Amino acid sequence: MNRIGRRDFLSRLSLATAALSIPNYARSSSIKPDEFAEVETSHGRIRGIRKGGLSIFRGIPYAGRISGDRRFRRPAPLEPWKGVRDAIQLGAPSIQPPNQTRGENEPRPAEDCLFLNIWTPGNDNKKRPVMFYNHGGGFATGSGGAVDQDGSNLARSFDVVVVETNHRLGIMGYLYLDEIAGSDYTGSGNMGMLDIVAGLAWVNKNIAAFGGDPNNVMIWGESGGGAKTSCLYAMPEAAPYFNKASIESGPGVRMIPREVASEMTAIVLQELNISPKDWRKLLEVPVADLLSIQQKMPQLLATRNGGRVGFVPGSFSPVVDGIALPHHPFDPSAPEISRNKPLMTGWNEDEFTFFAMAFRDTDALKLTTDFEALQTKMQTQFGADTKRIIDTYRQTRPKATAADVWIAVTSINMMGLGTLQIAERKVQQGGAPVYLYNFGYKSEAKVPGTDYAFGTPHAMDITFKFNNEVPGGQPGFLSGGRPERSDVSHTMAEMWATFARTGKPGAKNAPEWPAYNLTDRPLMRIDSKCEVLKNRFHDELAMWKSIGKL
């Protein structure tokens, strides 16, 4: 993330994400079903609901206990059950700060959180593509039950099976104990990711009974979910269980090195007054105390080298431990283990309007012609390069206001440059293709407290990809109320579903989407009218490369 909002990025991102309103389209759990749907799984029979041509199963356990002596370890074996188990209500999300999940009628967070949700047109033995989604929220918040990523419309409209998991987050999922706790805790710094792998393994074994094809699975995710997808793309244990991937507004190029993870563990022990030899006491610490340390970690690391590492700097997140995650996902190269797996990746054009709201940093949105004030504001982040950056963007955007330049610079710096590194390194690998996009549909909704429109902010793509911007729906908090947004949503969802089905994205109302290459660098710009752009941001990228940012 470079140096943007380093000390409080995580808490403010979570606050803003939780503030998103619950859209009317997703209020499906309160709808009475026409009937129930039953499926036999590897551990017992479950019952979901059948409504409007769709079967929905919520709160399916995919692995066993992770509390007690299983804290920070692999889950206990999942115990089979007798009779029919209801899969109608969401399962508990992972431990996290309060008020961060967005599921309707969702239970309180709990240690034992390994549940998944499935949306399918039918448990009819039809081999549909499986779209396995990783939720956002950095690596610290969120759940697979959030209403904006409800899978109903995506599954129904495009005949796919949608799966979403809950998995360990934050300190519960990424506290690195390998060096002090013995072989039972090997991979402890990646337990949150290994939970997702367990979910993928469950899907591989069971999804055929839900009308899905276990040999055609796409992993995808936005923001922190994009970074999770980056990690899965590089993890040996995940490799047998998916065939393609999409990394969206969350380029997980590098994760936490072992030495930084060790430092974070030492800080945790110090804060709890536990010596390394007494590490087992961690198994008895109340989760509220662990969560309190998690919240303070960015500040505790702020003056140390560790504070500059990771997808969300200073947070508990995947560790490059040489085993579960053998190397950084996309540094120095794309992972060889996924050479032959097609990839999509991209970002939203105005990502930073969301973060301006999240960071309560909206003063620059009021700037019009005062580029001197803009230079002063950007100086802390970009130092001696500030003037050159601003001059480049003014040359390529002669009609842009100072606020427009700020949003363009911070958006590509936060999400775009890492995304381009991923695309370039995937091309350099010479294996399966990579497809690059920019999401550019403009929302007229204003950033709270300003007259500046969100444009295409971070997280707005979620409802569009899930085909949840429905015709006649009420205006969204981020997406606004322009009627054409439903057509854009349908096209975008079709692109993703087509990629899940065939390994190449496409839609009826869009031009053919060429694979990315290092000659004319084509990308798909997704808007009311989609278009393929070549060598987009040529001058800006040349500048970013010259100052060592790309």
CA–CA distance, 44 with 416 (Å, rounded to integer): 45
Candidates 403, 314, 409; CA nearest to 366 is: 403
Compute the CA torsion angle 43, 48, 50, 54 (nearest 10 deg).
-70
Concatenated DSSP letters of 488-519: HHHHHHHHHHHHHHHSS---TTS---PPP-SS
Q: How many CB atoms lie within 10 A of CB 182?
A: 10
- In contact, 134 and 151? CB cutoff 8 Å: no
- Residue listed under structure tokens 């200073």: 314
Active site residue 479: no
Are 192 and 232 a contacting pair, CB within 8 Å?
no
Q: Count Cβ atoms below 10 Å from residue 304 Cβ, excluding itself.
A: 14
Q: Residue 529's CB: how many other CB atoms inside 10 A? A: 12
Closest CA to 194 of 224, 147, 232: 232
d(CA 111, CA 537): 45
Burial class (CB in 10 A: 0-12, 13-18, 19+), 151: buried
According to the 3-state scheme, what is the secondary structure of 161-188? Answer: EEEEECCCCHHHHHCCCHHHHCHHHCCH
Q: What tokens does 299 get?
A: 């500040």
Q: Is 467 left (phi over 0), alpha (psi -120 to 50) or beta?
A: left
- Assigned token pair, 389: 């950056």
> Cα–Cα distances in Å, from 128 out to 38, 132, 164, 376?
18, 12, 16, 54
Q: From residue 238, give the alpha-carbon distance in Å to each of 218, 391, 446.
A: 12, 45, 41
Q: Cβ atoms within 10 A of the Cβ of 376, count?
A: 11
**What radius of gyration do the chain's Cα atoms show?**
22
Structure-block tokens of residue 349:
């054009």
Judge contact between 468 and 97, C-beta under 8 A: no
Cα atoms in the 13 Å half-sphere on the side-chain side of 357: 27
Helix axes 224-232, 191-206, angle to 10 degrees: 70
Measured between alpha carbons, how far is residue 546 from residues 98, 385, 520, 549 in Å?
43, 10, 19, 8
Q: Could you tell me the end-to-end alpha-carbon distance of the chain, in angstroms, rounded to an integer? A: 13
Helix (H, G, I), strand (E, B) or coil at 31: coil
Give the active site residue among 55, 223, 262, 443: 223
Residues catalogued as catalytic: 223
